[in-house]
Amino acid sequence: MNPIPPSRRAFLGNTGRLVAAGSILAAPVPHVHAAQDNTIRLALVGCGGRGCGAAADAFESTAGPVKLVAMADLFENRLRSAHANLGKQYAAKMDVPRDRQFVGFDAYRKAIDCLRPGDVAMLTGYAAWRGLQMEYAVEKGVNVFMEKSFACDPPGVRRIIKAGDAARKKNVRIAAGLMCRHSPNRQELIRRIRDGALGEIQLVRAYRMQHVGPLPRRPADADELFWQIRNFTCFLWVSGGLFAEMDIHQIDEICWIKDSWPVMAHGVGGRCANSTDHGQNLDSFSAEFTFADGSKATDVVRYLPNCHDEFATYVHGTKCAAQFSGNGHASDAIIFKDQRCTAANAVWKAPPEPRTLWQAEWDALLDAIRNDRPHDEARRAAFTNLADIMARAAIHSGKLITWQQAMASNFQFCPYLDTLGKDDPPPLSADAQGRYPVPVPGVWSEI
């Protein structure tokens, strides 16, 4: 049994003091050689909860053996904590001495350099640098597992697409952290939908309504650049923002159900009047997607306490409705008698799945590597990310945003990401009250 708690995103506790970026914990070492030729080596780039959860899933995979041989992060304390926690539970699957633990903006390169072609770089840090790091891994002939989200703006999306195309030509495998695609229950429901069990799909409804706390004012002794990076979901240039980070899963489900990409998005959003949030996020979002056949899909989000919570996706066809997923990405695949989505109205319900979605995505990647099968999730992941960006831009700007506009846009939150260092300023700063710029519909533009 996987000893990781149910929320793999909460693997590690709080992080502490950061080190000067660009340093390493020890001198670099030559290329790593595994004890067994069939051992797939892993380099973990991004040692937060997602990274540690992904490492645990790789360790638990039935398609092993694997071994973690290098780790990289911007924050020394987080790397140390991750190494200690993983080492307690998976000591036999770790070989990461101090001289293969790297810290800084260039740490990803040093970690990937410890791998051979055919090994796996785990890109689980910040979306802002996902494309840059993916490019380097593909250039080295290294397979990639990359966590969501994948880009913060349209140029970042196109960078993922281009790197994915290069990977395909080199027979490099790319796995993307949209793990719901690997759910057998969802796959079976998709099969039934395609076979006409629901009739013609008229509407898809997705909800992610749960309390998420506000960002407090930056402490006077906290470095501005690293404060923003550490609190990545609160800053659009680092993560794309909380909506883009979290709701990419719901938007991916919508596009999967429709088997197409939206041609247009619009929506509304805002903040409650008593908000104490110092970050850039709104606290309420409602997006509507239009597809080429004229059908609609909605995604409703609220991050406020003491309100109705819901975390699910529903599909409505001309014959009946279905539930596609449930709370916490649960594989609650259900078909109902009619449009009433209640337990008592179910006519088919999928059984419990034998493994977690996160485990399933790792099993698929490692199996593809071992059996020399294609595994190319880059373009699909990038397109889902673009749909995500479309919706965010429509909500933030108050405008209708088309797929063509989003794909062609050259807007960037931070044009100098590739050369950003510890002594450089971040692309935005706070006002006199310590608050960062918040989107204002009718004024704001990000496409």
pLDDT tens, position by position, for the chain (447 residues)? 333 333 444 443 333 333 333 333 433 333 444 444 799 999 999 999 999 999 999 999 999 899 999 999 999 999 999 999 999 999 999 999 999 999 999 999 999 999 999 999 999 999 999 999 999 999 999 999 999 999 999 999 999 999 999 999 999 999 999 999 999 999 999 999 999 999 999 999 999 999 999 999 999 999 999 999 999 999 999 999 999 999 999 999 999 999 999 999 999 999 999 999 999 999 999 999 999 999 999 999 999 999 999 999 999 999 999 999 999 999 999 999 999 999 999 999 999 999 999 999 999 999 999 999 999 999 999 999 999 999 999 999 999 999 999 999 999 999 999 999 999 999 999 999 999 999 999 999 999
Residue 112 confidence (pLDDT):
98
Tell me the angle at which helices 378-397 and 154-169 cross, rounded to the nearest 10 degrees. Answer: 170
Residue 231 confidence (pLDDT):
98
Under DSSP, is residue 296 helix (H, G, I), strand (E, B) or coil? strand
Please give the model's pTM, rounded to 2 decimal places: 0.91
Residue 353 corresponds to which amino acid?
E
Q: CA-to-CA distance for 17 and 103, rounded, in angstroms?
A: 13
Residue 209 confidence (pLDDT):
97
Residue 151 confidence (pLDDT):
98
Q: CA-to-CA distance for 389 and 247, rounded, in angstroms?
A: 10
Residues of the chain with CATH 3.40.50.720: 8-180+361-375
Superfamily name with CATH number, domain 184-353+385-419: Dihydrodipicolinate Reductase; domain 2 (3.30.360.10)
| 3-state SS record for 408-425 | HCCCCCCCCHHHCCCCCC
Which pair of tokens denotes residue 106?
A: 């260039």
Under DSSP, is residue 72 helix (H, G, I), strand (E, B) or coil? strand
In 3D space, the residue among 49, 65, 45 whose CA is nearest the CA of residue 4 turns out to be: 49
Q: 214-223, long-range: CB within 8 Å, 24+ apart, which pairs?
A: 214/275, 214/276, 214/277, 214/278, 214/279, 215/277, 215/278, 215/279, 215/281, 216/276, 216/278, 217/278, 217/433, 217/434, 218/278, 218/430, 218/434, 223/18
Q: What is the DSSP letter of 97?
A: -
Residue 330: count of CB within 10 angstroms of its CB = 16
Q: CA-to-CA distance for 440 and 446, rounded, in angstroms?
A: 11
Residue 23 confidence (pLDDT):
37
Residue 308 corresponds to which amino acid?
H
Residue 21 confidence (pLDDT):
37
Q: CA-to-CA distance for 430 and 224, rounded, in angstroms?
A: 9
Residues of the chain with CATH 3.30.360.10: 184-353+385-419
| CATH code 1.10.357.10 for 8-180+361-375 | no
Q: CA-to-CA distance for 397 and 444, rounded, in angstroms?
A: 5
Residue 28 confidence (pLDDT):
38
